[in-house]
Structure 1
């Protein structure tokens, strides 16, 4: 009997407790605004009906717990995540994961870049040695005898990275600030790629990476995470594949795959990447991505409590020989 797995990614847009000032230029939620927001998020989670969901822009794990309490399908799901560092100069949103499948290994948070990576930014004295937002990893039991390593990420945005240098005499400080953001996003991507290569060299298990990449699939940072141009090393193919592009049931009549709108430009910057084990074109496939769906109607109406990102859902069908038969006991 074939088994379906459903993975989803969802940038909820600034989930914070009422009265909490999460950004300097944002007014905290009132009790009424908070209730409207968590109710809406809960409704979207139930619509997804996914087994594992990666979330971004979580300022409070308690707020996420309040969301799950309002759902019909996730009240008993496991919640994995962490609150932003309260001692930091400013709050930075974190990522989280909710799963209805068993967790085989506790959540691991990667804050520092692996392999002692240190990348220098223009005009900045100290090199970057940590992820813009920590990466979350957990090993999920997708089926009896089948473990999947799941990563949730949120790479640096395209928002210019100003460093109090607008009064400098150098020309085009905005361009330099944009370059810093690009380098930081590339640094996040490189660090994540190292984590993925490391884990694939140790154990041959399927990998799913999902999150807000703040870039399209063809952009260099996204391609870095995927391992573009890499070839099997020591017989291990640790490249990833964009699930939308390898799905086996693509319906061109409803092909409206965008997750973000900026300056009237529709683009997909939220992705679900899978390893060769879920690529239908791979001889090592244990299953295949059969369909990728985008839930984005809310972006047109732009309600205050709704997210400014679309949701992505990937349906994966495991091959019959992958699923162990149920015990008669």
Structure 2
């Protein structure tokens, strides 16, 4: 039995007559239909069982669309900000699933003065072979500067403001990743469910901000690997590429330069290092035709990110993982 996870940044998914970020960013009826049609085609091609979405301004419209595509379970944990009654900002993440979501929660942190730029969600699904699985959907802080320079600022001053603002963005993104990781480890210690973390990371995984997500031992103490193994996260591409050759495809382009910004990370339950692996990675797919070979009409309102999917083959025998969360 297989299960397929996917992550999709939808780029300004907002039903008209509302506007995203600015009063004149409004899809015409035909444009909105084109955007929805594009998403229908992509989701049909991916054929994923569980999908994490980013850049969602209209959750109600997305829920209706994915329900018609065979995803009866849908959830968000936050709402976008609205000004002047129709201008939307701060999009939210969402999850759609063919399998029942028995619990959906936001990630709560207690650090004074901190809040996520975009609230992550945790959904616990129940799968006939895997049992209970905790799925996290994220959209980490972008690389855009958190500071705006004055319009009449001198070039050097504007440059310095931008540099400092981008560093603040990196610190915000790093704090988001570390506090999310703490929440994931805490829940894993309490319930032991396999974990999937997916979304738009807005930076490459090897960046310093994501040290916690890649850590496997204490500083200068590599012998701590085994005791920490249940809490490790693994890049699904690396798990797949161990047995398959080929270069990794970027998921976002700036001009001709591409980077991998969209990831699906898996807990050690899905690796051969686990005492009782629950599943193994058998396919990794990047849906990027709209980026590398776009068709003007069909992809006119596509996302600026590729969609990423990973397929897991479930083990025949699943040990434990049968108790519902309290």
TM-score, normalised with respect to structure 2: 0.85
Corresponding position of 1:108 = 105
Corresponding position of 2:253 = 261
Looking at structure 1, the residues matched to 171 and 235 of structure 2 have their Cα atoms a distance apart, in angstroms, of 22
Looking at structure 1, the residues matched to 67 and 196 of structure 2 have their Cα atoms a distance apart, in angstroms, of 26
C-alpha contact 1:162 1:174 (8 A) present in aligned 2: yes
Corresponding position of 1:121 = none
Looking at structure 1, the residues matched to 99 and 47 of structure 2 have their Cα atoms a distance apart, in angstroms, of 12
TM-score, normalised with respect to structure 1: 0.84
Helix, strand or coil: the match of 1:161? coil
Corresponding position of 1:308 = 304
Corresponding position of 1:136 = 121
Output aligned runs, 1:245-256, within 5 Å. Answer: 245-247=238-240, 250-253=243-246, 255-256=247-248
Looking at structure 1, the residues matched to 273 and 227 of structure 2 have their Cα atoms a distance apart, in angstroms, of 21
- CA deviation vs aligned residue, 1:150-193 (integer Å, no higher than 9, x gap): 00000001112124567499561111111111111111111211
Instruction: Please say if 1:148 is aligned against 2:133.
Output: yes
Helix, strand or coil: the match of 1:322? coil
Q: Which residue of the other structure, out of 182, 185, 191, is the alignment partner of 2:173?
A: 185
Alpha carbon RMSD of aligned pairs, Å? 2.6
**Cα gap change, 1:236 to 1:276, in 2 (>3 Å):** closer
Corresponding position of 2:207 = 219
Corresponding position of 1:124 = none
Looking at structure 2, the residues matched to 264 and 96 of structure 1 have their Cα atoms a distance apart, in angstroms, of 30
C-alpha contact 1:155 1:213 (8 A) present in aligned 2: yes
In the TM superposition, residue 250 of structure 1 has moved relative to its aligned partner by 4.7
Structure 2 unaligned residues grouped into runs of 5+: 219-223, 321-326
Q: Which residue of the other structure, out of 96, 112, 117, is the alignment partner of 2:111?
A: 117
C-alpha contact 2:239 2:281 (8 A) present in aligned 1: yes
C-alpha contact 1:290 1:317 (8 A) present in aligned 2: yes
**Cα gap change, 1:207 to 1:101, in 2 (>3 Å):** same
Q: Which of 255-264 and 162-171 deviates more?
A: 162-171
Looking at structure 2, the residues matched to 323 and 5 of structure 1 have their Cα atoms a distance apart, in angstroms, of 18
C-alpha contact 2:237 2:284 (8 A) present in aligned 1: yes
Structure 1 unaligned residues grouped into runs of 5+: 119-126, 325-329
**Cα gap change, 1:250 to 1:257, in 2 (>3 Å):** farther
Looking at structure 1, the residues matched to 80 and 215 of structure 2 have their Cα atoms a distance apart, in angstroms, of 29
In the TM superposition, residue 145 of structure 1 has moved relative to its aligned partner by 6.5
Corresponding position of 2:277 = 285
Corresponding position of 1:44 = 42
Q: Which of 178-187 and 160-169 deviates more?
A: 160-169
Looking at structure 1, the residues matched to 13 and 217 of structure 2 have their Cα atoms a distance apart, in angstroms, of 37
Looking at structure 2, the residues matched to 191 and 63 of structure 1 have their Cα atoms a distance apart, in angstroms, of 31
**Cα gap change, 1:59 to 1:201, in 2 (>3 Å):** same
